[in-house]
A and B are shown apart, each in its own frame.
Chain A
Amino acid sequence: MAVFVDLNISHTVDKKRLQNIIETAAHLGYSTVAINHVVDLQQKKQEIGKPKCVSELFDQFPIVQGKSRPIKVLNRLTLVVSEASHFRPTNEFKSYDVVAVFPKTEKLFHAACMSFDVDIICIAVTEKQPFYFKRPPVNGAIDRGVFFEISYVPAIKDSTMRRYTISNSLSLMETCKGKNVIVSSGAEKPLELRGPYDIANLGLLFGLSEGDAKAAVSTNCRAVLLHGETRKTALGIIHTMKKIEPTAERREEEEAPVLKRARTEAV
């Protein structure tokens, strides 16, 4: 049995509801979920705050259906960008496990695919896609290991959204041929979540083949998480951590430039 992941659970201030959603996700069989913090960079004075520690959410995380392990909760940041100058990789990114970008224009989509240091590129599902997906940026994204995300909750809620979701995802599948696609929820209520096998089947409507649809909720999501982990580490090889003891801080400072050097060399 595969490990299922849902990388998009909307963050709400309401702690009770968030707990409810995560419990439902565990019941449905998701092993890992990511809480999504959306930041719209177009609006002024939007700060990328540090995410709340997930361990505050539960005393004891619910056990996943069919497994004996508790559910894993991660933090995810989604940046809505409409101008290229808005996207600036900052230190705050490092406190999130996964970083996604939602490009509004074709130029930004190209830039997101080719150069932005992100894990996920969101595809519009609530409106008609304002541009066509061109082959070169999509292929570039696939080569870099960046994934495209389709969220299904708007499709469940409303009939017109369903049309947009299906038509946009079909036009994406024409270019990417089912590779590097993940399907996630974007749920705000517990009843909006669907089981992983249902989603794998729903992928057929989105133009994915059977194998790709199942990969979209399991293996591809795992690849996203690993890609996100490489941001915190130097190419996934070296990982530096801050020690709690004050004496260890000096050593930490010495180590930091080494990490930087390793990164720049690799780039």
Chain B
Amino acid sequence: MVRFKSRYLLCELCVSDQSSLQLLDDRAVFTGVRGAVCRAHGDYGAALCSVSFAVKYLNADTGVVFLRCRKSHYRILWSALPFITHLENRGQKVPCAFNCLYVGGTIRTCQKFLIRYNIQQLHRMLPHCHNEAERLEVRRAVLNCSLKSLEKEEEEDE
């Protein structure tokens, strides 16, 4: 059995104000990206990209987005992403920028990368803790959360 090959773009939404990420949802990202492809590559590019294009995952807290696209045309989608300056949801504009972190063939590889990336972020941010109490707080929070429930959801998704 031959499957349709896809590419998953793991992107990070850069915003100046973290709380504005809460305003976004899947649909806002979907229409925003589709509009950008349309502006950058015209009707033809938009048509190529719209085959199996989907926003697979959006984390409103960290601003991580998974975009799916067919393998043959993912570069068209990717080259349109830098031109996004803001996303719109229910009439509210959220100025933001897409930063592509990883391009993978399956969600699984993207997830592996994301875990590694997040650990890296934690190491980057830990030195910013002002005192020992804060550091302990972070450690407790990390130990408290478990991936078990999340993994179950991911498996269902796949």
A positions within 8 Å CB-CB of B: 24, 27-28, 63, 65-66, 152, 155-157, 159, 162, 190-195, 197-199, 201-202, 204-205
Q: Are A202 and B79 in contact (CB under 8 A)?
A: yes
Tell me whether A205 and B39 are in contact in the complex, defined as CB-CB below 8 angstroms, given that A66-B120, A191-B96 are known contacts. Answer: no
Set of chain A residues within 8 Å of B81, measured between Cβ atoms: 198
Kindly identify which residue among A66, A152, A190, A195 contacts B100, using a CB–CB cutoff of 8 Å. Answer: A195
Tell me whether A199 and B82 are in contact in the complex, defined as CB-CB below 8 angstroms, given that A63-B124, A192-B97, A204-B75 are known contacts. Answer: yes
- Complex: how many Å from CA A162 to CA B42? 14
Q: Are B97 and A193 in contact (CB under 8 A)?
A: yes
Q: Are B82 and A194 in contact (CB under 8 A)?
A: yes
CB of B92 within 8 Å of the partner chain: no
Q: Are A202 and B75 in contact (CB under 8 A)?
A: no
Kindly identify which residue among B85, B96, B99 contacts A198, using a CB–CB cutoff of 8 Å. Answer: B99
Q: Are A28 and B82 in contact (CB under 8 A)?
A: no
CB of B57 within 8 Å of the partner chain: no
Residue-wise, chain B 52-89 has the 8 Å CB interface mask toward A (1 for contact) of: 00000000000000000000000100110111010000
- Complex: how many Å from CA A191 to CA B98? 9
Q: What's the least CB distance linking B116 to chain A, in Å?
A: 11
Q: What's the least CB distance linking B22 to chain A, in Å?
A: 18
Q: Which chain B residue shows the least CB distance to A152?
A: B82
Kindly identify which residue among B78, B120, B124 contacts A201, using a CB–CB cutoff of 8 Å. Answer: B78
Set of chain A residues within 8 Å of B110, measured between Cβ atoms: none
Tell me whether A191 and B124 are in contact in the complex, defined as CB-CB below 8 angstroms, given that A152-B82, A198-B81 are known contacts. Answer: no
Q: A-B pairs with the 6 shortest C-beta distances? A: A195-B99, A194-B82, A198-B82, A191-B97, A201-B78, A198-B100
Q: Which chain B residue shows the least CB distance to A20?
A: B16
Q: Are A24 and B14 in contact (CB under 8 A)?
A: yes
Q: Are B96 and A28 in contact (CB under 8 A)?
A: no
Q: Are A198 and B78 in contact (CB under 8 A)?
A: yes
Q: What's the least CB distance linking B96 to chain A, in Å?
A: 7
- Complex: how many Å from CA A152 to CA B96? 17
Set of chain A residues within 8 Å of B39, measured between Cβ atoms: 159
